[in-house]
Each structure stands twice: as C-alpha cells, then as structure tokens.
Amino acid sequence: MITVTSAAGGVGRLLVRRLAKQDVPVRAVVKNDAQAATTRQDGATEVVVGDLRSERTLDSALTGADVLYHAAPTQVIDERPIIEYLIAAVPSKGLQHIVFHSVIHPDLHELTHHHQKDVAEALLRESGIPTTVLRPSHYMQNYLEVWEFLQAGVMPYPVSPDSVMGVVDLADVAEAAANVLADPSPHTGRTYDLSTVELTRHQMAQIWASVLGHPVTAIRIPPSSLTNTLTVLPALASVVGHALQSTKLNAVGHLARGAQAASNPRDMKNWPADAREAYRVMMAHYDIHGLPAGNLADLPSLLGHAPTSYGKFARRSSTERGRTPADASR
C-alpha cells in the first residue's frame, strides 16, 4: 500500500491516477469530502479525510502502508510537527520508505516555504528512515492561473518578466515520483532536483504566442497585490492596453473572466494570514532574483526519457482547454 498525502493537489492527483493505472493500491489523504470524491474517481483504493496536522489523521494514513509519498500543502507554514510525528510513528507502523516532496533550493532560508522543506529534509536524514527527496522547480502549470488572460494576449504574474525561472511539468513530477515509488530501495538516501529548463516570462510569452496564434505580452503585477489587491491598479492599464492591441474586442470577455479568476488565486483568501504573507514574500524574492533550475540531469534520469518542454506543455494545455494550437504541426 502506498499512501499519498495532499492527494487532491496538482502532483497528488496525477500521482494517484498513475499508480491506479499500474494497479498499485493507493491510500489518498485529503482534507474534505469533496476532495475524497475526487480522489476516488482518480482511482484511490482507500481515502483518509482529515488535517495533516492531526495525529489521528497521520495514524490513519500510515497504518498498514508500506511507502509514504508526503507533500504538505503550501498554506501549511510550520511543517516540522508533521515530520516529527511521522518519524516517531514509523517504528510502530511498519513503514518502509518515505518519498518526501520538497522544493528546489530549500537553502533559501529567507523564504518560509523553502526553509520549512530544508528543516524537514534534515529531520528525515537524521532519523535513519529510508528516504528519497524530490525537489521540484516552479511548476509550468502555475501560469495556467492566467489562462483567460493568455487568450486575451497578456501574461500578468507577480514576478518580473525578466526573472529567470526554472520550471517543470507537473506530469513529469508525478511520473518521476511513481517511478521512485515502484522500487524505492535504489533511491534510498538520494535527493533529486526536478527541473526541465530555465526561462524568463518573456520567453514563455513568446511560446504562448506561437501556440495561441496572437501576440502575448508578459506583464509584471506587484507581488504586494497578493495581500493588498489595490496595488494591482497601476498595472491594469498596461494589461488592458496590450490585450486590446493583441486580440482587439475579443479580449474583453477573456479579461473579464481572467479578472474574476484572479480575485482569489489558489483560494488564497481562505489561507491563514501568515501563509498569504509567506507566499507574497516568496513571490517578491522570485521577482528580484528568479528561481534558478537545479541539476537538469536528474529528471530525465528518473523518467527514462526527455522531460516535457515548455512548448509541448503549452500545446497540450491549449488542447485540453478546447483550443487547437496554432502551431499544432510542430
């Protein structure tokens, strides 16, 4: 039995589906009944509904499991108590291996999310429990949050278009994780960077322009807008102006729907205040410094083939959303 925490998340859902297709028994840990219904449709054999910060939830998640794939939600600020309880519980639960979902460059201690992963990695190393660490880069899918804006011809995001970001496809992360989970022993004690390529958002916008068949302009939205929506106002004229120039009156509907989606990205309004602030600080750091890729050789080694390029990701995503890529023949 493989237990997958945060099974309703981006990686979690794809991982559950992949393991289910391989007829691997999966226990999915989710936070509510709606997510439980979703993960059952994805193929989960068993479902645990609860809060990962609850010992009762963790006990249910671990009992009878052979391997644990653990990923904590971004809005969980203090991950240490979860990891400490997992470590304490392992001897009595019979767990044989932990695959820990970390983050690229966990040594960026000024960023709460990265620092928490570094603390967790150290605790797991010191525990002696057979562990494999996966460090994914910034997800390509993060930019699908502005899908409606992309169709209007703009790519707003709270990071400078000039910042270099290492990116990776969620599907590749899930596939790499499934490959490790299938036979974790050779990966004991190993840490893998899951990075595909480094791109600025200007370069991403050029790829989207090729896929969508119209100009796309990358625009910086102040990271402060994540906690204070009024600070986005100065950027709106640029967003609207570039959209109208790119897609004319077709932009209007997309801009309206994009603005509605942007009013509560990632359901952040329901996050604790400290989690929202930590996310703002993280985006402010990326805004100035970017987020370089890790070791680009790790991911193809785990996959056994070349990772998904940003262009392939954009074409696939466009098709999934009912829009035939303009460069489909490529």
* pLDDT tens readout for residues 83-121: 999 999 888 888 999 999 999 999 999 999 999 999 999
State whether residue 274 is helix, strand or coil: helix
3-state secondary structure of 81: helix
- Give me the chain's average pLDDT, please: 94
Say which CATH superfamily domain 137-169+195-292+308-330 falls into. Answer: UDP-galactose 4-epimerase, domain 1 (3.90.25.10)
Q: Residue 329: its pLDDT value, please?
A: 57
Question: Which DSSP symbol is given to 5?
Answer: S
Say which DSSP state 143 is in.
Answer: G
**Which of these, 192, 14, 189, 5, lies nearest to 86 by C-alpha position?**
5
Q: Average pLDDT, stretch 161-172?
A: 97
Angle CA 302–134–200, to nearest 5: 90
195-201 mean pLDDT: 98
Q: Which residue has the higher pLDDT, 77 or 150?
A: 150
Query: Contact at 8 Å (CB) between 15 and 171?
Result: no
Residue 73: per-residue pLDDT: 85
> Is residue 78 classed as helix, strand or coil in its secondary structure?
coil
Contacts of 274 (CB under 8 A, 6+ apart): 77
CA distance 144 to 148: 8
* CATH 3.40.50.720 domain extents, the chain: 2-129
Phi, psi of 28 (to 5 degrees): -100, 135
Quote the tokens at residue 210.
């090729």
CB-CB contact of 39 with 47 (8 Å): yes
DSSP string, 38-72: HHHHHT-SEEEES-TT-HHHHHHHHTT-SEEEE--
pTM, rounded to two decimals: 0.94
- Ranges of CATH 3.90.25.10 domains, the chain: 137-169+195-292+308-330
What pLDDT score does 330 carry? 53
CATH of 2-129, one of 3.40.50.280, 3.40.50.720, 3.30.465.10, 3.40.50.300: 3.40.50.720
User: For the stretch 298-321, what's the b/e string if a residue is b when 16 or more beta carbons lie within 10 angstroms of its beta carbon?
Assistant: bbeebbeeebbebbbbbbbbbeee
Give the Cα separation of 7 and 35 in Å (integer).
8
pLDDT at 41: 96
- 23 vs 178: CA distance, rounded Å: 12
**Phi and psi torsions of 193, nearest 5°:** -85, 135
